[in-house]
Amino acid sequence: MLIKPIHSFQKPVYHDHDGSEDDFVSLITLLTLDKYRLTGISVTNANCYAEIAVESTLRILELFCRKDVEVAISSEQSINSFPDEWRKNKEFINFIEVLSKQKVDRTRISKMEAADFMAEKILAETEKTTIVLTGPASNLAIAIEKYPEIIGKIEKVLWMAGAFMVDGNVKSPDHDGSAEWNIFWNPNAASSLLKSGIPIVLFPLDACKQLPVDNYVMYQLKHTESQLSELVHQLFESNYKAHLRYYMWDVLPVVYLGNPGLFQFETSFIDVELRGTSRGNIYRSSKGNKVKYAKFIKDDDFYDYFLDQLTQF
């Protein structure tokens, strides 16, 4: 097991994810950050089957000896569901050797609905919480609607979502392919979050495509003497072999949290298309909502930082 000391100076961070392989790499990287303290996790039944994803989450927490962190499950339903072939076949994660040895403590699964759980964790902190959002916005949007007092308790939302000048990753009947799945899953929730007034930092597909999981990354992960590097290599391996293009996606917000100097940003006013063949697409609009979005990333330094974090335990 890996023990990371918890200090009073650490800032609170909450992770809301949807159970894909890069979500778990994001969680692993987040747990290596010394300046942040993970207060809770919620899992959306989006790019996963939640029961399997929660088990994987609990195994990773056990690996880091984070018995203080609870996990909540969202019952929210999609407007547009992820393809079933993307959601299935993730059970292998729980059979990766280092994770299979970890105890699954189901007493750490909260009985609260994810939105209520999230609000409780945010309101319990004296400091403002940063939210790392690597799935759809549904849980956060509902939490804001039910508990508007959390708006003033959120430092910012770091969200891997959207596409500007590149094609989206949605391939669905009657859609033009312009949208990204974390928004397309529930465009209404995305629109609601944008209108909340909470500072939002987007990591769109434009930025993600600057950071492929390529031969270099896989080689470094495989040949670094680190339990975490080996674990991340195994998490990436199946998709790396199956896809011609695979990217760091959900890892971006966490690396930004740890080393913001690697990123350059621009600010724009955007809105979300809620209907038609472009639903879920984000577009610039003078009537839209202000966001900061990642424009450029120092890719070599990003990889160096990421790989180094995996050797800290």
CA–CA gap between residue 30 and residue 255 (Å, rounded): 8
Please check the confidence at residue 7 and state whether its pLDDT lies above 70.
Answer: no
pTM (2 decimals)?
A: 0.95
More confident residue, 238 or 71: 71
Helix (H) / strand (E) element for 251: namely: helix 251-258
DSSP conformation class of 76 = P
Give pLDDT tens digits for 19-58: 999 999 999 999 999 999 999 999 999 999 999 999 999 9
Own/partner contacts of 281-285, CB < 8 Å, gap of 24 or more, are 281/163, 281/168, 281/176, 281/178, 281/179, 281/183, 282/161, 282/162, 282/163, 282/164, 282/179, 282/180, 282/183, 282/190, 282/204, 284/164
Helix (H, G, I), strand (E, B) or coil at 8: coil
Residue 294 scores a pLDDT above 70: yes
Local confidence band at 235 (pLDDT 50, 70, 90 cut-offs): very high
> Can you give the length of the chain in residues?
313
Q: What pLDDT, in 10s, does the model give residues 168-193?
A: 999 888 999 999 999 999 999 999 99
Bigger pLDDT: 140 vs 89: 140
Q: Can you tell me the distance from the alpha carbon of 169 to that of 18, in angstroms, rounded to the nearest whole number?
A: 16
Q: What share of the chain has pLDDT > 70, as a percent?
A: 96
Mean pLDDT, the chain, integer: 94
Q: How many CB atoms lie within 10 A of CB 289?
A: 18
pLDDT greater than 60 at residue 1: no
How many alpha carbons fall within 13 Å on the CB side of residue 100? 7
**CA atoms of 140 and 157, how far apart (whole Å):** 10
CA distance 101 to 60: 11
Distances from the Cα of 76 to the Cα of 17, 72, 159, 193, angstroms: 13, 12, 18, 15
